[in-house]
Amino acid sequence: MRYALKRILLGVPTLLAMFTAIFVIIRVVPGDAAAVILGDQASATALEALRVELGLNQPLSQQYLGFLGGLLQGDLGTSLVTKRPVLEEALRVLPNTLELAAASIIVGLALGMPLGIYAAVHRNAWPDYVGRLFSLVGLSLPAFVSGILLLLAFAIQLRWFPVIGTSQGGGLRERFLGVALPALNLGIIMSAYVARVTRSSMLSTLGEDYVRTARAKGVGPSTLVLRHVLTNSLMPIITVVGLYFGTLIGNSVLTEIVFNRPGLGRLILGALNTRDYTLLQGLMIIFASFVVLANLLTDLAYAAVDPRIRTA
């Protein structure tokens, strides 16, 4: 418990640094942000009004303090286009994005770990080569490319899934069909990372003395692999899942665009197309918070798996 608290407090400066970085990047828009947003044809009064609305007429330090103060109160600003609070816009579609992320992590682990274990046990035999080739293919597929191919094959040609992933409303069946293909897309890519690290982690554990001892005293092959080797190979797998979270966010943005699924990714695309800088900034802050949260969960998972970390 003390460890958890300490770890949570450590996340605060990281979060603050990320927020500051996002603030700075958004503010380096070359030239006048108001002119960029409104275009060349805008009148002087419209430009001035927008500057006041964005707070661009204030000194930078004041803008920064206002930005941080707003964040403390959970205020991410107001969308320039819809004039609605950014947080409200994001919360409306957040369940869809979380649903997709959870489903794809399940697919990624359920597919990747058995593949990695199988490849490690059959090292340098053909299952190992097939597994490694699969991993490399997975690592080389940009998420939108695999998404488009899945969409073409299973939704457009075979018609097993709806072309547009409407997860809003509808029964459980519609919901499942809507999330299945995007989750499969993200899960397959993730399983490539998971399979690869599971394999190498298992290989190094398989070489340990205690594994030989266990084998010598007659532990059966499946118990040996699953209880003695796998449990001691979990740390790198947790690390990869934690590290992969950032990539998962990027890939889920692309996947939501391809499958036309309402979510944070689609919001980002909209913000980019309409030059809605406050929405863009707010979404980046939400994503940054997720990353810090994922890092926190990863560290807590370490502690759960390895008692030495808890007590240290």
Partner 1 sequence: MAALLLHMRETTRFLSRGGVFAWIGLVLLAAIVLVALFAPLIAPYDPLEQDIVNRLLPPSPEFWLGTDSYGSDVLSRIIYGARISLFVGLISILIAMTIGTALGVLSGYIGGRFDAFVMAVVDLMLSFPSLLLGMLVAAVLGASLENLIIAIAITEIAPFVRLARAPTLVLKEQEFVQAARSVGCGHGRIMRVHILPNLISEILVMGSLWMATAIRTEASLSFIGLGVKPPIATWGGMIREGFENILEAWWLAVFPSVFVFLTVLALNLIGDGLRDATDPKLRQRD
* Closer to partner 1 by Cβ: residue 102 or 136: 136
Contact 126, 168 (CB under 8 A): no
List, in sequence order, every residue forming a beta bridge with 85; answer none if it has no partner.
78
Q: Shortest Cβ distance from residue 218 to partner 1 (Å)?
A: 27
Q: Shortest Cβ distance from residue 59 to partner 1 (Å)?
A: 20
* 34 Cβ contact list (under 8 Å, min separation 6): 42, 47, 50, 51, 54, 56
Single out the segment in contact with partner 1 by CB under 8 A; choices: 93-101, 165-173, 221-229, 289-297: 289-297
Contact 92, 174 (CB under 8 A): no
Residue 246 as a binder of partner 1 (CB under 8 A): the answer is: yes
Cα–Cα–Cα angle for 24, 27, 31, rounded to 5 degrees: 145
Residue 249 as a binder of partner 1 (CB under 8 A): the answer is: yes
Single out the segment in contact with partner 1 by CB under 8 A; choices: 41-49, 55-63, 219-227, 265-273: 265-273
Residue 109 as a binder of partner 1 (CB under 8 A): the answer is: no
Token pair 């058995």 is found at 114
Residue 254 as a binder of partner 1 (CB under 8 A): the answer is: yes
* Closer to partner 1 by Cβ: residue 207 or 307: 207
Single out the segment in contact with partner 1 by CB under 8 A; choices: 53-61, 226-234, 281-289, 302-310: 281-289
**Which parts of 196-235 interact with partner 1 (CB under 8 A)?**
203, 207
Q: Which of 194, 155, 180, 185 is nearest to 99 (CA)?
A: 180
Residue 16 as a binder of partner 1 (CB under 8 A): the answer is: no
Residue 300 as a binder of partner 1 (CB under 8 A): the answer is: no
User: Coil, strand or helix: which one is 115?
Assistant: helix
Residue 103 as a binder of partner 1 (CB under 8 A): the answer is: no
Residue 12 as a binder of partner 1 (CB under 8 A): the answer is: no
Residue 195 as a binder of partner 1 (CB under 8 A): the answer is: no
**How far is it, in rounded angstroms, from Cα 261 to Cα 100?**
10
**Which parts of 148-187 interact with partner 1 (CB under 8 A)?**
148-149, 151-152, 156, 163
Q: Find the binder of partner 1 among 136, 164, 226, 304 (CB under 8 A).
A: 136
- Output the DSSP codes for 135-181: HHHHHHS-HHHHHHHHIIIIIIIS--S-SS---SSS-HHHHHHHHHH
Residue 143 as a binder of partner 1 (CB under 8 A): the answer is: yes
Contact 301, 243 (CB under 8 A): no
User: Coil, strand or helix: which one is 82?
Assistant: coil
Residue 10 as a binder of partner 1 (CB under 8 A): the answer is: no
Q: Find the binder of partner 1 among 7, 51, 122, 132 (CB under 8 A).
A: 132
Residue 268 as a binder of partner 1 (CB under 8 A): the answer is: yes
Q: Is the dihedral angle over the CA atoms 223, 227, 232, 235 positive or is it negative? A: positive
Conformation bin of residue 118: beta by default, left when phi > 0, alpha when psi is -120 to 50: alpha
Point out which residues bind partner 1 (CB under 8 A): 14, 17-18, 21-22, 25-26, 28-30, 132-133, 136-137, 139-145, 148-149, 151-152, 156, 163, 203, 207, 246-247, 249-251, 253-254, 257-258, 268-269, 272-273, 280, 284, 287-288, 291-292, 295
